[in-house]
Chain A
Amino acid sequence: MKIKLFLVFLILHLFVLTGCWNRVELDRRAIVAGFGADKAEEEGKIQVTVQVVDAGEIKAIPLARGGSMMNAVTVYTGTGFTAFDAFRNLSMVIGEKLFLSEVRVLVVGEELAREGLDKVIDFYERDHEPNIRDYLIVVKGGEAKEVLETELRINKIWAYGIDSMIKTTMAHSKAPATEIIDFLKAVESKTTAPVATVIHVLRKGNEENAGEGKSNQDGTTAVQPKELKVSETAVFRHYKLTGWLDEKESRGLLWVTGKVKSGIIVVSSPEKEDKLAAIEIIRAKSKIKPEITDGNLIINIDVWEEGNLGEEQPDTMDVSKPIVLKELEERKKTVIEDEISAAVIKAQELNADIFGFGEAVRRKYPREWKQLEDQWDEIFPTLEVNIAVDAKIRRTGKITKSAEPKP
């Protein structure tokens, strides 16, 4: 009986004496909204930038009543030998424990991307706080630091603004929205090439103005006359950046992978070549069908698309006639096929199977794949690809003909 009591006593002490190791009060956590990695100026080092939310300022006077947006986030930068190392070194500058669960975007500078993303992603996967469903973006011609220091007006927390921007790529489908997990899945497959969204830093106005701006609490400057733009795609080979897809090619990629959700296709009007019409994409599907005939591998890409006529520059075209619509559909089809070819050509140029053709072959012809797999690097650039598009226009909006001045 006495021993029992003693043991219970001991156990209770465990609770009281040692304290609670993992308890960190909420207001003593620095909530990180955006995480960025660049190549540091020093050789062999990584520069990590974090955008931290100022929780106290969030509740401050909302913008509408004249409050200032400036201080909702603070940006810090640190360096280290590896991403984790740099991250911890940040605590030299910040007084609180950094909390990575609320990060929404992982931004990587171009230079570091060329060297290889493996320097950053492993930390992201292994630590239990970051979520691999965050978006991955590459900065073209710039540094992640710059991107995270740019003030955005969409959201008080700028990094979440970037997150919104990536989510809205579906509105134009000219850039993919890649989550880190998608990137990883592609890296793991032997043949598929990973891609990532690209972000540009646009410097508006004169260069002299670029240096001005209000200061944040820690002395870094948030330079105002900059803007961010999300478009284009970065193409990788394993972990290293190897090339880009421009807007047209990016959409081609999305057509093939079936990820086009919405967007505008511009075609010229059948009757007057200089008048244009804009058709809105409503939905699209795609199928990749590999075929092996006589020992030759051919990839067939089938795309189905449906759209509505959104705008036409006034002319005599009367879209209530099916013939006219058919003509528009043909033109649309050509545009789509164009975009897809452009993407295929560029991909073959870069020798990057961004579409997942290899995986498709593997699924359909597992036995043949065993031999083809190792030679994919040679096969891919010369693959024969057939594109078949079925484009439809369903509706024309509220009116059929636009108002026309009577001659």
Chain B
Amino acid sequence: MARNVFRRLLSLGRGREKNKLFSTCASPASAAKLSRDLAVNLNMIRDTLGNSMDVVVRELLVCRTRVALVYINGLINETALRENVMRALMIDMHNVEPSPGSGSKDLADSVKEKVLSIADVKKIGDFHTVLDGILGTGIVLFFNGEDTGLILKLPGFETRSVEEPHTETVVRGSREGFVEALSVNISMLRRRIKSPDLRLERMQVGGVTQTDICVAYIKGIVNTKLVDEVKKRLQRIDIDGVLESGYLEEFIEDAPFSIFQTVGNTERPDKVAAKLLEGRVAIFTDGTPIVLTVPYLYIESFQVSEDYYSRYIPGSLLRMIRLLCVIITAELPALYVAITAYNPEVLPSPLLISMASSREGVPFPAIGEILVMGVFFQILREAGVRLPRPVGLTVSLVGALVVGEAVVSAGLVSAPAVIIIALAGICSFVVPPQSDTNLLLSLFFTILAGFAGFFGLFLGFVLVLAHMASLRSFGAPYLSPAAPLSPGDLKDTFIRAPWWVMTGRPRVTGWKNTRRAGVVSSPSPPRNEEKKPAHRYKVDE
């Protein structure tokens, strides 16, 4: 059903591809070429950009030719501009040979090749690239009398420094997290994967924002069809602005109506590198530290970087605990409702009588209690996130302790309900990517349990399971490797097998190239070596 709707959405997109609402250039003058007249060029610039206060036009005289620098203040590196460009043009130019009579045709070339001590210099010939350059982090050099200009890339904007990611902290492992600048993020990835097969392809989305994005993959491991599909879906995006990778996510995901996310995201470079090594594709977006990864399987939300860096036994245990927490969050409130309202005999007698007495005098039915407390809990959580830090702490404290206690004493809600909601809430934070999903799931299950007890609850399970079984993320079935069963890959799901056991990439992402490690690499004490006695000090030598 969802697929049908999605298809319809896609066809909308397809039809309009030819006449997209937002083409990549904003003005009709885009295709025009530069003129030889400097004044004309500068006028074009002024018209297009208006009188923005940060656009700087600096005119110079270089070898008796009028030259203009156009740049946007704040985007470029002022020091480099002064030292490498202005000084070079004004002072060092004299060391260069062009004779005044040879015409300014070669001026651009000479400047480029001999004078400017800047790494990234290109020749440009049309306005589209000029605007791109200025609005990117570049300085454009116009020469009077030439119809080509130079664009110098000198990025120098303010950006956040690399710090620990807020959402994905680990005890053991790298503390680096992505930042908002695309170039910095890419450099972090490059440092981790030095293979020449790492491919980083640039694209731009967003008609007005012209946001730079980068599609990263490792050639030879990844399935080329996957890369093509990713690029195809990105190109289809037709919107005025892309401010965060979340926008992209909603445009490219396979099941827009499902509560389960089928596109992964992360803030950690080591995680992205690991996923690329498994044959996935990553999408970087300028302006956000969150990087998307596709395909995304359900099991990935339980895999945390730390699992792989710490030892495998505690890692496996923790993973199972995470799984348990997800189950608790989604099902405990519903179980409470089902048991108290429909089938109390499941509980051992003392517990049952104890619960019956706690519920004495409570005006709400069990389902009402859970819903009320659930809403209250979400309000607390949201308030805690939005308020500035010192106040936020007070709010949570007040809310949790005082109000929770007061509510029970006043007899509005029974104590077990508060405990259940609190437990479910805490467990929902154990697996952050799932917390929204679990909230919705627990709501769904609770309502079903309220209507039909255990039967409703179990029916809900089955429906959710069927739904999850029908999801695919860019072709990979959402529930692999449990369903369809691929036993070799189960080593990294509920448990985390030691590294020397995980010799293959997951089948769904690795495709043909599934071997990633040598076969016999389990650690063992050295064999066939002479047993040397340890620490025998020969005294008489």
Contact = CB atoms under 8 A, between A and B. Distances in A.
A and B touch in the complex (CB under 8 A): yes
Interface of A: 15, 20, 22-27, 29, 31, 53, 55-59, 99, 101-102, 104, 129, 131, 157, 160
Given A24-B342, A25-B365, 9 more contacts: A22-B453, A25-B341, A26-B341, A26-B359, A55-B357, A55-B360, A57-B357, A101-B344, A102-B353
Contacts of B453: 20, 22-23
Nearest to B365: A25
Given A15-B451, A25-B341, A101-B344, A31 B360 contact: no
B352 A27 contact: no
Nearest to B362: A27
A102 B356 CA distance: 12
B344 A29 contact: yes
A102 B450 CA distance: 23
A101 B451 CA distance: 22
A58 B345 contact: no
A5 to B, nearest CB: 12
B349 A25 contact: no
B353 A26 contact: no
Q: Which of A23, A99, A129 has the most CB of B within 10 A?
A: A23
B279 to A, nearest CB: 40
Interface string B437-471: 00000000000001111000000000000000000
Nearest to B455: A22
A27 B356 contact: yes
Nearest to A4: B1
Interface string B328-363: 000000000000111011000100111111111110
A27 B360 contact: yes
B359 A99 contact: no
A168 B352 CA distance: 24
B366 interface: yes
Interface in B355-379: 355-362, 365-366
Nearest to A23: B341
Please provide the 4 A-B residue pairs with the shortest distance between their CB atoms, ordered closest to farther. Answer: A101-B345, A55-B356, A55-B357, A56-B360
Contacts of B359: 25-27, 55
A22 B353 contact: no
A9 to B, nearest CB: 16
30 contacts: A15-B451, A20-B450, A20-B451, A22-B342, A23-B341, A23-B342, A24-B342, A25-B341, A25-B359, A25-B365, A26-B340, A26-B341, A26-B355, A26-B356, A27-B356, A27-B359, A29-B356, A31-B352, A53-B353, A55-B359, A55-B360, A58-B354, A59-B354, A59-B358, A99-B344, A101-B344, A101-B345, A102-B345, A102-B353, A129-B345
Contacts of A102: 345, 349, 352-353
A105 B416 CA distance: 29
A58 B353 contact: yes
Contacts of B358: 59
Contacts of A23: 341-342, 365, 450, 453
Interface of B: 340-342, 344-345, 349, 352-362, 365-366, 450-453
Given A20-B452, A22-B453, A25-B366, A160 B349 contact: yes
B349 A58 contact: no
Given A15-B451, A56-B360, A59-B358, A24 B341 contact: yes
A99 B340 CA distance: 12
Q: Which of B341, B354, B355, B366 has the most CB of A within 10 A?
A: B341
Nearest to A157: B353
B158 to A, nearest CB: 54
Contacts of A129: 345
Nearest to A131: B345
Contacts of B349: 102, 104, 160
A157 B366 CA distance: 25
A99 B346 CA distance: 13
Nearest to B337: A23
A10 B390 CA distance: 51
A196 B67 CA distance: 113
Contacts of A157: 353
Contacts of B356: 26-27, 29, 31, 53, 55
A339 to B, nearest CB: 35
Nearest to B338: A23
B450 A56 contact: no
Contact of A58 (B357, B362, B365, B366): B357
Nearest to B343: A101
A157 B353 CA distance: 10
Given A20-B450, A25-B366, A26-B366, A31 B353 contact: yes
A102 B345 CA distance: 7
A252 B217 CA distance: 82
A15 B367 CA distance: 15
A56 B356 CA distance: 8
Nearest to B341: A23
Contacts of A26: 340-341, 344, 355-356, 359, 366
Contacts of B355: 26
A57 B354 CA distance: 10
A239 B341 CA distance: 37
A120 B503 CA distance: 66
Nearest to B416: A26
A55 B349 CA distance: 12
Contacts of A101: 344-345
B5 to A, nearest CB: 12
Contacts of B344: 26, 29, 99, 101
Nearest to A72: B353
Contacts of B361: 27, 56
A22 B361 CA distance: 21
A16 to B, nearest CB: 9
A56 B357 CA distance: 5
Q: Which of B340, B344, B353, B358 has the most CB of A within 10 A?
A: B353
Contacts of A53: 353, 356
A27 B453 CA distance: 16
B408 to A, nearest CB: 13
A191 B505 CA distance: 67
B345 A25 contact: no
Contacts of A20: 450-453
Contacts of B353: 31, 53, 55, 58, 102, 157
A59 B357 contact: yes
Contacts of B366: 25-26
A236 to B, nearest CB: 29
Contacts of B352: 31, 102
Contacts of A29: 344, 356
Q: Which of B342, B450, B453 has the most CB of A within 10 A?
A: B342
A269 B479 CA distance: 76
Nearest to A58: B357
B355 to A, nearest CB: 6
B502 to A, nearest CB: 46
A10 to B, nearest CB: 16
Nearest to A102: B349
A225 B453 CA distance: 45
A15 B447 CA distance: 11
A157 B452 CA distance: 31
A344 to B, nearest CB: 39
B349 to A, nearest CB: 5
A55 B352 CA distance: 10
A15 B360 CA distance: 27
A31 B347 CA distance: 13
A379 B450 CA distance: 60
A25 B357 contact: no
A57 B360 CA distance: 10
A145 to B, nearest CB: 23
A22 B451 CA distance: 9
Q: Which of A15, A20, A131 has the most CB of B within 10 A?
A: A20
B59 to A, nearest CB: 66
Contacts of B450: 20, 23
Nearest to A27: B359
A53 B340 CA distance: 16
B416 to A, nearest CB: 10
